[in-house]
Amino acid sequence: MPSSPGHPEHPDAARYRGSWVGLLLGAAVRAAANPRLAIDLLRTGWAFRRRRWWAAAPFLPTPDVTYLRWRMYTAYGSEDAVPPLEDMLRFVRWRRETMGL
C-alpha cells in the first residue's frame, strides 16, 4: 500500500479504506430515518464547502480536496482514508452539541 511522498501511513490506515459514495449513501439512509441527523449532516456539509465553489466546475458546494485529504491524514493516518459511517455521524452530532447548532 503506497503512501504519499513524505507522509508515512499509520499502521492501521488500511482499516479506513472504503468508498466515499458508500459513505454518503449510508449517511443518506440514516438521515432519511432521522430528520435531526439530516439537518446536522447538511449543516456540516455546508460548513466544509470550498470557498468560491460557484466560480469553478463542478459548481457544487463540495469540500476542498486538499483540505479533505489533510483532515483524513490527521484523523486516520492516510490522505486516502474514508471514515467509517459511525465516525462521521459521531462527528456531526459532536459538532452540533459543542457549537450549539
Q: Is the pLDDT of residue 15 over 70?
A: no
Helix/strand/coil (H/E/C) assignment for every residue in 22-75: HHHHHHHHHHHHCHHHHHHHHHHHHHCECCCHHHCCCCCCCECHHHHHHHHHHH
For residue range 31-58, list pLDDT tens digits in order.
999 999 999 999 999 999 999 999 988 8
| pTM for the whole structure | 0.78
